Structure 1
Amino acid sequence: MSRAVCPGSFDPVTHGHLDIIGRAASLFDEVIVAIGVNPSKSRLFGPEERTEMLRRAVEPFANVRVEGFTGLVTDFCLAHDAPAIVKGLRASSDFDYEMPMAQMNSALTGVETVFLPTSTRQSFVSSSLVKEVAAFGGDVSAFVPDFVLAALTARLAAGGTT
């Protein structure tokens, strides 16, 4: 069985994330969406909220499951017998950031990284940009699932991060 891990913070999950996850699901027998949990970082949504949103968002993909992790993504991959990490690339700056990590991961553990270019419709979408636009009252409904939009709107109205 081929298994891959799609890691990220997913704060919040966007249609761009789901595009990469869906395409990875068509390439691998199983995809584990690994939500990074870093207690020292402030996020708009807590780990449980992000996990629930992602589980709901990936329901259409029968071979995708969601789990949280702490520490190195390669340790998570090795513990789950996943020889590949899937990362989406929006621009050359993403490649410049991701390539040294991919090479380090491969050199240290043998876990390989598969890069997927984002679709042109999603190439500019990031969780950070979605949160920023939404915080200023912009319409981000085209970039996130409806239930994520509702949670995002409610969280921003409450004025808080986790």
Structure 2
Amino acid sequence: MKRIALFPGSFDPFTKGHEDIVLRGLRLFDEVVIGIGRNTRKERYFPLEQMIQLIEGAFDDYPAVRVISYDDLTANVAREIGAKFLLRGLRNTTDFEYENGISQVNRYVYEEVETVFLITSPQLAPISSSIIRDLHRYGQQVDEFLPYQLEKVQ
């Protein structure tokens, strides 16, 4: 049986920290599906279609990685795509507290799903999507934090 992991997030934007989790996840799973969920409490900074294209391009050489978008509970999406695992990265204890609660709810919705936490590589731990958005919004170069290049804000 194929071991499929869903790596869910808003990925606004998808960072080198996210890329690191996916690449390390490929050592554990046969396929990693990057799932860009729609968060009703957040308005996207980077357009969804643009982010899908950029992420797909970053993983061109990895046929075991694919990208989807969804507007549903993460656990329901995992069940639909046949994923028995949710892959998550943890930068710190604050991330753990937040992710732990979500993992419990996901198990409630889809009891066969297991959440696998990978600790972020130390050199990537300070990177967050919100910091990248702020830097980009104010015209700062952010390419060193991303596995692709973005156009600068005018």
Same fold, judged at TM 0.5 (above): yes
Corresponding residue for residue 116 of structure 1: 118
How many angstroms apart in 1 are the aligned matches of 2:79 and 2:71? 13
Corresponding residue for residue 86 of structure 1: 87
Corresponding residue for residue 142 of structure 2: 140
The one-letter amino acid paired with 2:14 is V
CA deviations on 1:26-65 (whole Å, 9 max, x unpaired) are: 2100111101124663111222111111111122322111
Question: By percentage of residues, which structure has more helix?
Answer: 1
Between stretches 36-45 and 109-118, larger displacement belongs to: 36-45
SS in 1 for 2:104: helix
Q: Aligned pair count?
A: 152
Q: Is the 8 A contact 1:3 1:30 kept in 2?
A: yes
The one-letter amino acid paired with 1:96 is E
Between stretches 62-71 and 36-45, larger displacement belongs to: 36-45
The one-letter amino acid paired with 1:103 is Q
Superposition map of 1:33-72 within 5 A: 33-38=34-39, 41-72=42-73
How many angstroms apart in 1 are the aligned matches of 2:108 and 2:39? 24
Q: Gaps spanning 5+ residues in structure 2: where?
A: none
CA deviations on 1:95-134 (whole Å, 9 max, x unpaired) are: 0100011012113312110000110111010111011123
Q: Is the 8 A contact 2:54 2:148 kept in 1?
A: no
The share of aligned pairs that are identical, in percent, is 37
The one-letter amino acid paired with 1:90 is R
Superposition map of 1:140-159 within 5 A: 140-147=142-149, 149-150=150-151, 153=152, 156-157=153-154
Sort the Cα spacing of 1:146 and 1:86 in 2 relative to 1 into closer, same or farther, 3 A. Answer: closer
Between stretches 104-113 and 94-103, larger displacement belongs to: 104-113
Q: Is the 8 A contact 1:22 1:61 kept in 2?
A: no
How many angstroms apart in 1 are the aligned matches of 2:139 and 2:47? 22
SS in 1 for 2:20: helix
How many angstroms apart in 1 are the aligned matches of 2:115 and 2:143? 31
Corresponding residue for residue 160 of structure 1: none
How many angstroms apart in 2 are the aligned matches of 1:95 and 1:109? 20
Between stretches 34-43 and 126-135, larger displacement belongs to: 34-43
Sort the Cα spacing of 1:53 and 1:39 in 2 relative to 1 into closer, same or farther, 3 A. Answer: farther
